[in-house]
Chain A
């Protein structure tokens, strides 16, 4: 963390910093040496921080007007939409913000998969990331329940019922989660409490995520270790700050478009019908960002095994640093992995698509094949690929490809470095 010593210039600054080294921390964050060849896929870390803060700030404001009661929740949301000053804006930012958050986190995760950012020495960053992702899903699910619309109610019923698949204690656990014998007021109040708590847990984990990142430093598109600081790096401020800022603004334009012009397109119309325990909607569909896992859940005929498959699909990611046996990080130098990477991307998108469709006929068949392939990718293809794949020679430093040295020259130089690897 402290690659260089720092002493504040002013006397007061020094006095303060000796007692609480906040200025050292600030100095570390601004000077933090960052690889200069990071592309725009690396800007999503900053974008995600923005998303988290936006959700917390808008969420706090909404919580001042929202009433967590089964008889009043729906009405209080309409009160926010109609009578609270700019309540419609705050709520639409919060609701679409969840989708934007997931969009960004999926890009962030798939960037990591492409460039092998989860590999040694960054396993802890990756695992903290997976925990954050799990908490995000929990927060998003519980947040969707709060407006107490039809999809809120029935989504909560379906998802909490999954726990009943656990042998012996399952039914007891579900009753305990509900605080009664069905989804009702006690369920709503506890979901609200947890929905309020989880973002702050995420915030704490984000600090750890960044701390763990700052120990080895950023991975980069070439995927090789670089000396820090060196001519391959730039200080975080102003170089990365302005670049992240530029990318964030582009992201905000897309965000604003959803909020102002199609604020309900990512939601489900049924959620504007107040929850009715006596009327089940024709199709119960989760939010788009949970659809791939919903497809995996439904593709297994047995309830318990379906739940196990769904959970494994997420938890398997935590084992990724050890499942991927290749020493080369970046897919740029792994021609075979690159192909399989894009097949995986397509596979997850297909899972998302069939997750939104009724689980029958052709859709179910596709879901089953795609689910099988998802696990085959992580459990068979990745471990084997590390041994079988002929990787391309990797450059000595990121300066050569960046400065436009001829590829042949770079490769000739790098034959040696590969031997060292």
Chain B
């Protein structure tokens, strides 16, 4: 018992001490009701499809998504476009293929098996077009940032006029959630920027939520399968543990000792 108390007090000490230091350094990120959080968390299909629309119409002019394929758009656990829709989406992009029999590179419409077409040939080209800053690849972006989904969601809504005393260079913007508050990406969203196919009102908040949900999916395409399997696995383990506990009691009852 005393031992447990010691463990407990140590745990509390560390939880509180880390809490104190964290609150001193970081800004509080905006939060929203993410459907993918929690033990049964699933993606909101509508939000994923709208998020894809925001990505294609807004983000994809600068940000690549090199680990995601068009076929993924029709896969279970994702935006779940129909295969026909995904094919049509892929075909709307021009893909460089080749070399052909004549040794020439050629353009053809995209196929399901193609990766998302990149906005720039290479990193240097991307930097040259964006004032020296490389727009990061978005495939795993949510997992590559400390605050995860909340951070991306906040950043998109964090553009403000700089406080008095801060001067910004040309092509640098003030964002209250960005590390160091200076960001080279101009505010990408404004109300009504996208006309959603399903008629949802495209506010900045709504678009931020949709694109973040979409980016969460591209970072963790098997999140739904993981949650479902996890629930089954843990229930299975708990039942097995209970059974083993009783057989252990039974076996040890032959020995006069506590267990």
Residues of A whose CB lies within 8 Å of any CB of B are 36-37, 75, 78-79, 81-82, 88-89, 92, 234, 238-239, 242-243, 245-246, 249-250, 252-253, 256-257, 259-261, 263-264, 269-270, 272-273, 282, 342, 345-346, 349, 353, 357, 402-403
Query: Among B179, B229, B245, which residue has its beta carbon within 8 angstroms of that of A260?
Result: B229
9 nearest CB pairs, A to B: A260-B230, A272-B144, A249-B241, A272-B143, A78-B67, A242-B248, A272-B140, A88-B222, A246-B244
The answer to whether A252 and B237 touch across the interface, beta carbons within 8 angstroms, is yes
CA distance A345 to B9 in the complex (A): 13
Residues from chain B with a CB closer than 8 A to the CB of A252 are: 237
Q: Helix, strand, loop or mixed for chain A's interface?
A: helix
Query: Among B222, B234, B258, which residue has its beta carbon within 8 angstroms of that of A402?
Result: B258
Residues from chain B with a CB closer than 8 A to the CB of A259 are: 230
The answer to whether A78 and B140 touch across the interface, beta carbons within 8 angstroms, is yes
Residues of B whose CB lies within 8 Å of any CB of A are 6, 10, 14, 17-18, 21, 39, 67-68, 72, 136, 139-140, 143-146, 148, 179, 219-222, 226-227, 229-231, 233-234, 237-238, 240-241, 244-245, 247-248, 251-252, 255-259
13 cross-chain CB contacts under 8 A: A81-B222, A88-B226, A234-B255, A242-B252, A246-B241, A246-B244, A259-B230, A260-B226, A260-B233, A273-B136, A349-B14, A403-B256, A403-B257
The answer to whether A78 and B139 touch across the interface, beta carbons within 8 angstroms, is yes
Closest B residue, CB atoms, query A149: B144
The answer to whether A239 and B230 touch across the interface, beta carbons within 8 angstroms, is no
CA distance A89 to B222 in the complex (A): 9
Q: For the complex formed, measure the closest distance between the CB of B239 and the CB atoms of chain A, giving whole angstroms.
A: 10
The answer to whether B257 and A75 touch across the interface, beta carbons within 8 angstroms, is no
Q: Which of B21, B39, B248 has the most CB of A within 10 A?
A: B248
Q: Which of B136, B237, B240, B252 has the most CB of A within 10 A?
A: B237
Query: Among B145, B240, B251, B259, which residue has its beta carbon within 8 angstroms of that of A269?
Result: B145
The answer to whether A242 and B229 touch across the interface, beta carbons within 8 angstroms, is no
Residues from chain A with a CB closer than 8 A to the CB of B230 are: 256-257, 259-261
Query: Among A243, A261, A272, A353, which residue has its beta carbon within 8 angstroms of that of B248?
Result: A243
Closest B residue, CB atoms, query A250: B241
Query: Among B18, B39, B67, which residue has its beta carbon within 8 angstroms of that of A261?
Result: B39
Q: For the complex formed, measure the closest distance between the CB of B170 and the CB atoms of chain A, giving whole angstroms.
A: 22
Residues from chain B with a CB closer than 8 A to the CB of A349 are: 10, 14
Residues from chain B with a CB closer than 8 A to the CB of A245 are: 244, 248
Query: Among A256, A272, A402, which residue has its beta carbon within 8 angstroms of that of B257?
Result: A402
Excluding A260-B229, A261-B39, 7 further A-B contacts by CB distance (< 8 Å) are A242-B248, A260-B226, A263-B226, A272-B219, A353-B18, A357-B21, A402-B258
